[in-house]
Amino acid sequence: MEAVKKQDVRTRQRLLESACQVFAEKGYRDATIADISELAGTNVAAVNYHFGDKEALYVESWRLAFHKSLEAYPPDGGISPNAPPEERFRGRVFAVMQRFAYSKNYEFEIMSKELANPTGLLAEVIRESIEPLRQEFGRIIRELLGTRASEKQIQFCQMSVMAQCTNVMLHERNRKLFDQAGIKTGLPFENFNVETMADHVTRFSLAGLREIRRLIEAGELTDQNTDSPENSEMRY
């Protein structure tokens, strides 16, 4: 049970890598153990032997996918911590988009499927993985917004930036799907290029951040303004 032997590790590892790929392509529910073990060249029972069940395999797959992705593209984008915040900002945006863009990094596909259609199985482990990155990025945004920005204002802005990074990728993937299905989309990005997109998102967002900062410092944007009053209708 405890002792992990060589051969063991090898099948376990193959299984895990296949699982990342299949979960990324199909999502938890549509991925079958048969798919995964066929791709890994093992028997279906191997999954249950090595991981217990499909759920545990899913969680382990996320961990591996995230780990590999982060290893391939360090989150600071290679920018020195002493660089001006605008540059560190661009580094982060670029790194996120690379992590999401390269299809062998299954991080993005697994996560976006999970977020849209949650199984609940990854809630904790995704949060654990991502929270440190979120904090680091938040600190850069704080610098850009100035000392008078509230926590909530920082989080709103962070959301605006990250939203662009993820949606670019969803967009791009779906354009590919539409193309394959022979549907004319009128959508952009025919020659998709991560660097170009990162530049756009950076330019657009830095301008947004400067404006929010200006408003805060001109006193035209109190926290109340960005905070929620009790008036308009709530969701649910």
Partner DNA sequence: GTATATTTTAAATGAGCATTTAAAATATAC
Partner DNA sequence: GTATATTTTAAATGCTCATTTAAAATATAC
Binding site partner of 6, from a second copy, DNA, none, Cβ cut-off 5-8 A by kind: DNA
The answer to the question of residue 24 lying near DNA (CB under 7 A) is no
Residue 80: burial class (beta carbons within 10 Å; 0-12, 13-18, 19+): exposed
| Segment interacting with DNA (CB under 7 A) among 40-48, 67-75, 108-116, 216-224 | 40-48
The answer to the question of residue 20 lying near DNA (CB under 7 A) is no
The answer to the question of residue 4 lying near DNA (CB under 7 A) is yes
Q: Which is nearer to DNA, 22 or 162 (CB)?
A: 22
* 55-61 long-range Cβ contacts below 8 angstroms, 24+ apart: 55/121, 57/15, 57/16, 57/19, 58/19, 58/23, 58/28, 58/119, 58/121, 58/122, 59/121, 59/122, 59/125, 60/16, 60/19, 61/16, 61/19, 61/20, 61/23, 61/106, 61/110
CB neighbours (10 Å) of residue 197? 22
Q: Which is nearer to DNA, 35 or 76 (CB)?
A: 35
Which of 5, 81, 182, 228 is the binder for DNA (CB under 7 A)? 5
Which of 25, 38, 39, 48 is the binder for DNA (CB under 7 A)? 48
CB of 53 to DNA, least distance (A): 4
The answer to the question of residue 47 lying near DNA (CB under 7 A) is yes
CB neighbours (10 Å) of residue 18? 22
CB of 51 to a second copy, least distance (A): 22
The two structure tokens encoding residue 225: 């303004």
The answer to the question of residue 46 lying near DNA (CB under 7 A) is yes
The two structure tokens encoding residue 43: 């028997």
Binding site partner of 125, from a second copy, DNA, none, Cβ cut-off 5-8 A by kind: none
The answer to the question of residue 61 lying near DNA (CB under 7 A) is no
